[in-house]
């Protein structure tokens, strides 16, 4: 059997080294989507790893009989026809735990960014900071603290639970919704004291979460979760965060909510028309934006690479 692996969206050097030590040849040169079938067949790759950029649909699965493993570096596998691949005898793996902390930290990076208007002041200060300093100081003088506020977490898997840990550490109230989880024990480490505190969180209904949250963050694999109907039930001045999948928050309904003042601000790392986000989203003055970087930390990429490598070795050996 060939021992060649195509890491089409890249893999961390440590993960690559683990695979090479196990005797595999790992190629990280990017192959375009339209040339993927030909490349896999000509080079005899037995495993293909992807992130969110490369799509692995039925055409690839049917045409590439050599493939034994498809690996997704990350959590969501909506860019892979998972069940179809498994029906064809291909092992499909992902790395659900590796990026939890990095995504959760980005949620709070966005929240701090929004609540203290950093996204806007960083645009304005280089332009008029030297001539209208006092005007800008007044404009950004109504910041909001996180402590004591309620964060609603839609999707209470690994990432959602990590968001809860950070929120509790900041003195926030946490409400969570997940159709598959009724309750979860959140374990909080206290650095330096070698102690852990365990708190039980019982999930609530989506309606209750939407009505009672000051901030709402989404951590689901896809679907349309927040539309005009849900926005109308929210608190006035709510802030919405999406670091999961584009389309979870309907962008046109989000725009209407922002323009009416119902939604104070939005924080988006993912977009409906990614990788070309809608112009009205990119230019809105009350949206904090990042280009799908939830898992893009050095530590997370290393964890993803290691977990991916170990699972591929186990699957192929």
* Residue in 251, 292, 303, 307 annotated catalytic: 292
145 is catalytic: no
Report, at the CATH architecture level, how domain 4-96+298-316 is classified.
Answer: 3-Layer(aba) Sandwich (3.40)
CATH 3.40.50.720 fits 100-289, yes or no: yes
- Return the beta strands (E) in the chain as ranges: 4-7, 25-27, 47-50, 69-72, 91-94, 150-154, 173-177, 183-190, 195-202, 215-218, 238-242, 263-268, 287-289
CB 250 within 8 A of CB 223: no
* Residue in 105, 274, 302, 310 annotated catalytic: 274
* Residue in 72, 158, 245, 303 annotated catalytic: 245
Query: What is the distance between the alpha carbons of residues 237 and 239, in angstroms, rounded to a whole number?
Result: 7
4-96+298-316 and 100-289 share one CATH topology? yes
Domain ranges of the chain: 4-96+298-316, 100-289
Per-residue pLDDT of the chain (317 residues; tens, 9 = 90+): 679 999 999 999 999 999 999 999 999 999 999 999 999 999 999 999 999 889 999 999 999 999 999 999 988 888 999 999 999 999 999 998 899 999 999 999 999 999 999 999 999 999 999 999 999 999 999 999 999 999 999 999 999 999 999 999 999 999 999 999 999 998 887 766 677 888 999 999 999 999 999 999 999 988 999 999 999 999 999 999 999 999 999 999 999 999 999 999 999 999 999 999 999 999 999 999 999 999 999 999 999 999 999 999 999 98
**Cβ atoms within 10 Å of 282's Cβ, excluding its own:** 12
CB 6 within 8 A of CB 47: yes
292 is catalytic: yes
Q: What is the pTM of this model?
A: 0.89
pLDDT at 52: 84
């Amino acid at each position: 059997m060939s021992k060649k692996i195509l890491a089409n969206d890249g893999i961390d050097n440590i993960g690559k080294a683990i695979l090479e030590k196990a005797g595999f040849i790992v190629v990280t040169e990017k192959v375009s989507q339209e040339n993927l079938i030909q490349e896999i067949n000509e080079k005899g790759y037995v495993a293909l790893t992807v992130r969110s950029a490369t799509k692995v649909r039925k055409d690839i699965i049917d045409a590439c009989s050599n493939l034994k493993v498809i690996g997704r570096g990350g959590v969501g596998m909506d860019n892979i026809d998972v069940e179809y691949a498994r029906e064809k005898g291909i092992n499909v793996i992902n790395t659900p735990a590796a990026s939890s902390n990095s995504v959760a930290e980005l949620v709070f990076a966005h929240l701090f960014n929004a609540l203290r208007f950093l996204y806007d002041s960083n645009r304005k200060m280089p332009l008029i900071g030297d001539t209208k300093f006092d005007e800008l100081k007044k404009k950004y003088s109504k910041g909001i603290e996180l402590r004591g506020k309620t964060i609603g977490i839609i999707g209470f898997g690994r990432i959602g639970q990590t968001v809860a840990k950070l929120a509790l550490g900041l003195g926030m109230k946490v409400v969570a919704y997940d159709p598959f989880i009724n309750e979860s024990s959140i374990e909080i480490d206290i650095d330096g004291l070698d102690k852990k505190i365990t708190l039980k969180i019982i999930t609530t209904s989506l309606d209750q979460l939407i009505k009672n949250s000051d901030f709402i963050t989404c951590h689901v694999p896809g679907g349309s979760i927040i539309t005009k109907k849900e926005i109308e039930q929210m608190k006035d001045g709510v802030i919405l965060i999406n670091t999961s999948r584009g389309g979870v928050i309907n962008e046109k309904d989000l725009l209407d909510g922002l323009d009416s003042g119902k939604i104070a601000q939005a924080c988006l790392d993912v977009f409906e028309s990614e990788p070309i986000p809608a112009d009205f989203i990119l230019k809105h003055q009350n949206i904090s934006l990042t280009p799908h970087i939830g898992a893009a930390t050095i530590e997370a990429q290393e964890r993803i690479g290691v977990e991916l490598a170990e699972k591929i070795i186990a699957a192929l050996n």
